[in-house]
């Protein structure tokens, strides 16, 4: 993969965001991201196929049929095979998987992959209805008004009950602080302009209040409501040559895993991200590495508790020890394993269907030394990166291991 | 008759007016919430929105729908619980829509007073005209077999005067909302010795359910809120008139408006507040109150003059500010009225000169919107600001000190005249009804 491009993650936090004014729509974001990638690969003529990940444009934007927007990016994409993927918030990574499978099947040498979501078209209370589509609709009636925050609030509560609330929230607070501090280093991040001096104090001042929101999370524990798109080119070695891209400017996929859990079942254990655990295990196995070989990871922190649980699912901490692992700054940019180096879903933003592609772009930037102010050290002895993209409550998971192309 | 029964059939008189529409909204929501309780299933709740203006009623229904929608969006968490038995209502959107329907379904827009003949409770929010109020209330009372209670929103007419005029036998009390009722948390409750305990208790209960702060006021014209505001406004007017002997009228108005807003850390300058309430309304309230005041003359020639020139202030139906003493663009003052030329002078023409004349604000000054929302730090901010102001020698500081002292005097007089039961009540009214950052009866200048 190479030639990644992220639009700004637009929404509250960005100075230019005004919910009362008309804003750019889906097509704008798709085009900006797509063209951003095409410019780096010698234009649309080099592309064989397109894939686009999106969760709920059908409701957020009253727009279905998104594959048809790929030729809109550039007229030279007209008449080429395109596909749209949907797997809730893992839609983006499914678009990556679709592209990767085309390359592996040798039906394409170059696939343009885009992920997009434009969510700020409605108030949060209605957006919650739309996002609830990532769960089983039969559970909607008895779910929380803010359905997904409710699901992860329940997970947080289970974690608090088992390991202590104060202890757990120390880790969740540090997760939030890391997210904002990292986002401040990335100009496209939604929280790039966040100027709050005492982030920890801000977090401590917002005790979860079930009357206004959910019982066990505050809004700082949640990812952003975002408009944005990301794009990247998935290429074979032949494709790299065709596009004139050096291996050192690309990342190679060393392992991948795509895992699905039955959406009609409750999670087997609320304090564990079981599907992520399986996906991580499989992708590491395929890559033939261990977590100790990873230099940086993008995890799916739709909520801070998901971040904590991800460190446990990855195996960096024993069950119940993830909060401590994070509180001790192990996942900070200068910590043992820098996670979500441009802010993740809480700091950079979470254009749901775009997130999976954004994660790949971030890892590509980090491993090829293009992350600018957000660049972290990639030790020669630990040259791997990983992305974990999750759809719904640990239902659809895609985990990918990457390494710079010239290793 | 218990609380629910009393609220099963209610009428709001003057429902399309600014105060009436807010009262209608709050009452409709309260009644709908009662109707949705499982124990009230099958009972009919009816709220007559009575107004003489068809156009006003059409606007009211739109306002109501928009406001209930916003409210429902805010309390969806609770509403999901309320509608938990309704299998057909699944998404937030379904629930919000249903709630809006359930509230609107209680309201009957009507133009005839006969609709009130079946009500147990009647809110009166018609214009401040004793004859009109008397006519309406007595007509309803004579034709309504339910011995209804009357809650008047009058801000100036003593309740016992209404009681006697309409022969209501103590079945009336003052339930004075602040503008806009849906936002302002204050309700002044004015009772008379003829009120039954049951009625007073109901009023308190109802206010509590509306999440209002209740201040008990005694039955003197103007009560606490207007008792302070009218005198405070008159002070500002007199000071501007005094300044106008030395500087052009428009500059004097600008300076006193700035002194009363910035130097006193209030949300609005006094002339902006008069415009907000309406010059006509202020003139009218003073006129209503004046005959009841023994030792003072609550009257302004300047207000009369403005009214004669047709300059009234007040707000348009969309909430935007009409020009009055000041001219507004996007609700911000940009000009001041000049009665000689019957036109507005741009503030920009004299602002620098006048600001220099007033002198700078003390160093520790911060605007009202910062001070008022500074929670724990507010008190210390005010103490250091007023200490500095006290030492100030500029014209602005002198005018502000005089204004501050007068405001306190007015507050104390409301207590000594027994309009308010204590100074805390005066302060609560100004804090919650007028959004002041501090109550007028304070020790900042002592």
- Mean pLDDT, rounded, for A333-342: 98
CB contact under 8 Å between A141 and B77, yes or no, is no
What is the mean predicted confidence (pLDDT) over B80-84? 96
Phi, psi of B138 (to 5 degrees): -70, -40
Alpha-carbon distances of B26 from A197, A340, B121, rounded to whole Å: 40, 47, 14
Residues B402-418: tens digit of each pLDDT: 999 999 999 999 999 99
pLDDT for B179 equals 85
Average pLDDT over residues B232-241: 97
Kindly state the helix (H) or strand (E) to which residue A200 belongs, with its residue range: helix A199-204
Question: Measuring CA to CA, how many Å separate B75 from each of A18, A173, A349, B328, B411?
Answer: 24, 27, 26, 35, 38
Taking alpha carbons only, the member of A226, A373, A362 closest to residue A302 is A226
Rounded to a whole number of angstroms, the distance from the CA of A390 to the nearest CA of chain B is 23
Residues 6+ apart with CB under 8 A from A166: none
Instruction: Give the model confidence (pLDDT) of B102-122 as tens digits.
Output: 999 999 999 999 999 999 999
Q: What is the mean pLDDT of chain B?
A: 95
Q: Do A145 and B91 touch (CB under 8 A)?
A: no
Separation CA A337–CA B426 (nearest Å): 60
Cβ contact, residue pair A145, B80, below 8 Å? yes
Instruction: Tell whether B96 is within 8 A of chain A (Cβ).
Output: yes
A162 touches chain B (CB under 8 A): no
Distance CA B315, CA A287 (A): 70
DSSP state of B152: E
Output the 3-class SS for B63-112: HHHHHHHHHHHHCHHHHHHHCCCCCCCCCHHHHHHHHHHHHHCCEEEECC
CB contact under 8 A, B91 and A211: no
Nearest Cα to A23, choosing from A60, A51, A48? A60
Over chain A, what is the mean pLDDT? 97
Q: How many CB atoms lie within 10 A of CB A131?
A: 25
Rg of chain B's alpha carbons, rounded to an integer? 23
With a CB-CB cutoff of 8 Å, which residues 227-246 of chain B face chain A?
none
Counting other chains too, the contacts that A368-371 makes at CB distance below 8 Å and 24 or more residues apart are A368/A2, A368/A248, A368/A249, A368/A250, A368/A251, A368/A404, A371/A186, A371/A341, A371/A342
pLDDT of A402: 98
- How far apart are the C-alpha atoms of B370 and B287, rounded to whole Å? 36
- List CB contacts (< 8 A) between A217 and chain B: none
> Among A170-174, B81-85, B288-292, where is mean pLDDT lowest?
B288-292
Mean pLDDT of the region B345-356: 96
Q: Quick check: helix, strand or coil at residue B205?
A: helix
Contact B48, B73 (CB under 8 A): no
Mean pLDDT within B19-38:
96
User: Inter-axis angle of helices B18-35 and B92-104, to 10 degrees?
Assistant: 110
The answer, yes or no, to whether residue B319 has pLDDT greater than 80, is no
Cβ contact B96–A125 (<8 Å): yes
Q: What is the strand order of the sheet A384-391 is part of?
A: A251-260, A396-404, A384-391, A294-298
The predicted-structure confidence for A78-112, as pLDDT tens digits, reads as follows: 999 999 999 999 999 999 999 999 999 999 999 99
Distance CA(B118)–CA(A357), nearest Å, equals: 65
User: Which one of B77, B87, B92 has the shortest CB-CB distance to A126?
Assistant: B92
Hey, what are B221's tokens? 């014209």
Residues of B in contact with A123 (CB under 8 A): 73
CB-based contact, B93 to chain A, within 8 Å: yes
Q: How many Cα atoms occupy the beta-carbon half-sphere of A119 within 13 Å? A: 32
Residue A128, burial from CB neighbour count under 10 angstroms (0-12, 13-18, 19+): buried
Q: Is A123 in Cβ contact with B92 (below 8 Å)?
A: no
Chain B residues with beta carbon closer than 8 angstroms to that of A213: 77
**Taking CB atoms and an 8 Å limit, are A128 and B92 in contact across chains?**
yes
B76 touches chain A (CB under 8 A): yes
Does any CB of chain B come closer than 8 Å to the CB of residue A407?
A: no
- CB proximity A215 to B under 8 Å: no
- Enter the tokens of residue B408: 């306190």
Q: Is the CB of A125 less than 8 angstroms away from the CB of B80?
A: no
Closest CA to A139 of A313, A407, A392, A406: A392
Give the Cα separation of A111 and A47 in Å (integer): 6
Of B79, B87, B92, the CB nearest to A129: B92
pLDDT digits (tens, 9 = 90+) for A233-288: 999 999 999 999 999 999 999 999 999 999 999 999 999 999 999 999 999 999 99
Spatial separation of the C-alpha atoms in residues A389 and A115, rounded to whole Å: 12
Rounded CA separation A103/A200 (Å): 45
Q: What is the Cα–Cα distance from B69 to B218, expressed in whole angstroms?
A: 37
- CB crowding B193-220: b at 16 or more within 10 Å, else e: ebbeeebeebbbebbeebebbbbbbbbb
Compute CA distances A159 → A4, A147, A192, A267, A360, whole Å.
37, 19, 30, 14, 29
Counting one residue from chain A and one from chain B, the pairs whose CB atoms sit within 8 A come to 30
DSSP letter for A70, please: H
Q: Considering just the CA atoms, what is the radius of gyration of chain A in Å?
A: 19
Task: Say whether residue B90 is in contact with chain A using an 8 A CB cutoff.
Answer: yes
Is A211 in Cβ contact with B77 (below 8 Å)?
yes
Percent of chain A with pLDDT over 90: 97
How far is Cα A3 from Cα A364, in angstroms, rounded to an integer? Answer: 8
Q: Is the pLDDT confidence value at B318 over 80? A: no
Taking the Cβ of residue A201 and every Cβ of chain B, the question of whether any pair is shorter than 8 Å is answered with no
The domains found in chain A, sorted by start residue, are 2-122+225-249 (3.40.47.10), 141-223+250-404 (3.40.47.10)
| Alpha-carbon separation of residue A352 from A13, A226, B236 (angstroms) | 17, 8, 57
What average pLDDT score do residues A301-315 get? 98
Whether the CB of A132 is below 8 Å from some CB of chain B: the reply is yes
Q: Does B417 touch chain A (CB under 8 A)?
A: no
Instruction: Tell me what pLDDT residue A211 has.
Output: 84
Which chain A residues are within 8 Å of B96, Cβ to Cβ?
125
**Strand order in B172-177's β-sheet?**
B107-110, B46-50, B9-13, B121-124, B149-152, B172-177, B186-190, B213-217
HSE-CB of A407 using CA atoms within 13 angstroms: 17
Phi, psi of B115 (to 5 degrees): -60, -25
Query: How far apart are alpha carbons B67 and B272 in whole angstroms?
Result: 26
The terminus-to-terminus CA distance of chain A in angstroms comes to 14
Nearest alpha carbon to residue A260 among A152, A138, A392, A115: A392
- pLDDT tops 90 at residue A66: yes
Q: State the Cα angle at A365 between A364 and A371, rounded to 5°.
A: 165
Q: What is the pLDDT, as a whole number, of residue B317? A: 66
Helix, strand counts (H, E) of chain A? 14, 9
DSSP single-letter state for residue B407: H
Average pLDDT over residues A380-397: 97
B117-173 per-position pLDDT tens digit = 999 999 999 988 899 999 999 999 999 999 999 999 998 899 999 999 999 999 999
Q: A27-54 burial, b if ≥16 CB within 10 A, otherwise e?
A: bebbbbbbbbbbebbeebebbbbbbbbb
Q: Nearest CA of chain A to the CA of B69: how many Å? A: 12
pTM: 0.88
* A125, A132, A210: residue with CB nearest B76: A125
Flag if B87 and A144 touch (Cβ within 8 Å): no
From A324's Cα to the closest Cα of chain B, the distance in A is 33
Q: Based on the number of CB atoms within 10 Å of its own CB, is B380 exposed (0-12), middle (13-18) or buried (19 or more)?
A: exposed
**Cα distance from B97 to chain A (closest Cα, Å)?**
12
* B132-145: pLDDT as tens digits: 999 999 999 999 99
Give the integer Cα–Cα distance in Å for B420 and B423: 7
What pLDDT score does A115 carry? 98
CB contact under 8 A, B77 and A128: no
Domains of chain B in start order, with CATH, are 3-217 (3.40.50.720), 225-433 (1.10.1040)
Cβ-in-10-Å burial (0-12, 13-18, 19+) of A366 comes to buried
How far apart, in whole angstroms, are the C-alpha atoms of residue A398 and residue A257? Answer: 6
Nearest to B91 among A140, A144, A213 (CB): A140
Dist CA A391 CA A406 (whole Å): 32
Looking up tokens 């007199």 gives B238
Predicted confidence (pLDDT) per residue in B167-196, tens digit: 999 999 999 999 889 988 999 999 999 999
- The answer to whether B77 contacts A145, with C-beta atoms less than 8 Å apart, is yes
Residue of B nearest to A213 (CA): B77
């Amino acid at each position: 993969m190479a030639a990644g491009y992220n639009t700004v993650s637009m929404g509250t936090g960005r100075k230019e965001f005004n919910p009362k004014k008309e804003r750019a729509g889906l097509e704008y974001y798709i085009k900006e991201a797509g063209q951003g990638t095409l410019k780096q690969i010698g234009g649309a003529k080099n592309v064989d196929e397109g894939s686009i990940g999106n969760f709920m444009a059908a409701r957020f934007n009253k727009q279905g049929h998104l594959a048809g927007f790929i030729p809109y990016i550039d007229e030279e994409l007209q008449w080429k095979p395109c596909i749209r993927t949907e797997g809730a918030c893992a839609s983006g990574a499914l678009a990556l998987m679709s592209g990767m499978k085309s390359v592996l099947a040798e039906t394409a040498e170059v696939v343009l992959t885009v992920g997009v979501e434009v969510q700020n078209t409605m108030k949060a209370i209605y957006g919650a209805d739309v996002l609830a589509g990532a769960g089983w609709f039969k559970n909607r009636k008895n779910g929380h008004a803010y359905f997904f925050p409710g699901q992860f609030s329940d997970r947080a509560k289970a974690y608090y009950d088992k390991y202590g609330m104060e202890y757990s929230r120390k880790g969740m607070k540090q997760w939030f602080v890391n997210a904002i501090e990292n986002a401040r280093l990335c100009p496209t991040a939604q929280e790039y302009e966040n100027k709050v001096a005492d982030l920890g104090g801000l977090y401590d001042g917002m005790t979860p209040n079930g009357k206004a929101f959910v019982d066990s999370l505050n809004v700082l524990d949640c990812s952003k409501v975002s408009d944005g798109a990301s794009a990247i080119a998935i290429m074979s070695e032949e494709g790299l040559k065709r596009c004139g891209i050096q291996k050192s400017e690309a990342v190679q996929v060393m392992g991948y895993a795509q895992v699905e859990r039955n959406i009609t079942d409750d999670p087997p254990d609320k304090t564990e991200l079981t599907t992520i655990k399986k996906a991580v295990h499989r992708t590491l196995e395929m890559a033939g590495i261990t977590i100790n070989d990873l230099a940086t990871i993008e995890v799916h922190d739709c909520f801070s508790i998901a971040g904590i649980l991800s460190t446990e699912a990855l195996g960096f901490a024993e069950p119940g020890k993830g909060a401590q692992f994070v509180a001790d700054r192990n996942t900070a940019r200068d910590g043992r394993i820098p996670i979500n180096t441009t802010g993740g879903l809480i700091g950079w933003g979470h254009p749901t269907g775009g997130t999976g592609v954004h994660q790949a772009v971030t890892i590509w930037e980090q491993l090829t030394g293009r992350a600018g102010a957000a660049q972290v050290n990639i030790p020669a002895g630990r040259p791997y990166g990983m992305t974990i993209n999750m759809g719904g409550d640990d239902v659809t998971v895609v985990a990918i291991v990457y390494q710079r192309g010239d290793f | 008759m218990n609380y629910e029964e009393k609220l099963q059939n209610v009428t709001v008189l003057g429902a399309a007016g600014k105060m009436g529409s807010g009262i209608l909204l709050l009452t409709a929501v309260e009644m709908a919430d009662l109707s949705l309780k499982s124990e009230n299933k099958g009972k009919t709740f009816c709220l007559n929105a009575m107004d003489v203006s068809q156009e006003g009623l059409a606007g009211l229904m739109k306002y109501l729908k928009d406001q209930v929608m916003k409210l429902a969006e805010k309390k969806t968490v609770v509403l999901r619980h309320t509608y938990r038995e309704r299998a057909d209502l699944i998404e937030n959107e379904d629930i919000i829509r249903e709630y809006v329907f359930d509230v609107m379904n209680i309201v009957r827009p009507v133009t005839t007073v006969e609709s009130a003949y079946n009500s147990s409770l009647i809110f009166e929010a018609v214009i401040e005209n004793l004859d009109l109020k008397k006519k309406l209330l007595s007509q309803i009372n004579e034709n309504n077999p339910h011995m209804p209670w009357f809650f008047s929103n009058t801000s100036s007419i003593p309740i016992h005067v209404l009681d006697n005029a309409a022969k209501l036998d103590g079945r009336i009390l003052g339930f004075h909302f602040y503008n806009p009722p849906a936002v302002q948390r204050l309700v002044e409750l004015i009772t008379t010795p003829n009120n039954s305990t049951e009625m007073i208790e109901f009023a308190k209960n109802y206010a509590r359910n509306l999440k209002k702060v209740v201040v008990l006021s005694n039955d003197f014209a103007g009560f606490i809120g207007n008792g302070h505001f009218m005198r405070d406004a008159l002070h500002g007017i007199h000071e501007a008139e005094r300044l106008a002997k030395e500087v052009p009228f428009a500059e004097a108005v600008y300076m006193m408006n700035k002194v009363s807003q910035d130097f006193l850390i209030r949300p609005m300058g006094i002339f902006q507040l008069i415009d907000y309430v309406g010059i006509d309304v202020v003139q009218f309230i003073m006129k209503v109150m004046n005959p009841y005041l023994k030792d003072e003359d609550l009257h302004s020639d300047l207000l009369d003059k403005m009214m004669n020139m047709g300059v009234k202030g007040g707000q348009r139906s969309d909430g935007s500010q009409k020009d009055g003493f000041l001219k507004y663009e996007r609700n911000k003052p940009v000009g001041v009225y000049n009665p000689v030329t019957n036109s507005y002078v741009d503030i920009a023409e004299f602002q620098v000169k006048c600001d220099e004349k007033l002198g700078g604000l003390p160093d520790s000054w911060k605007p009202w919107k910062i001070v008022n929302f500074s929670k724990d730090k507010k008190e210390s901010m005010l103490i250091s600001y007023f200490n500095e102001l006290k030492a100030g020698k500029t014209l602005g500081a002198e005018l502000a000190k005089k204004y501050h002292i007068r405001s306190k005097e007015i507050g104390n007089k409301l207590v000594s005249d027994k309009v308010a039961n204590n100074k805390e009540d005066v302060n609560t009214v100004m804090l919650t009804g007028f959004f002041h950052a501090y109550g007028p009866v304070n020790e900042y200048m002592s």
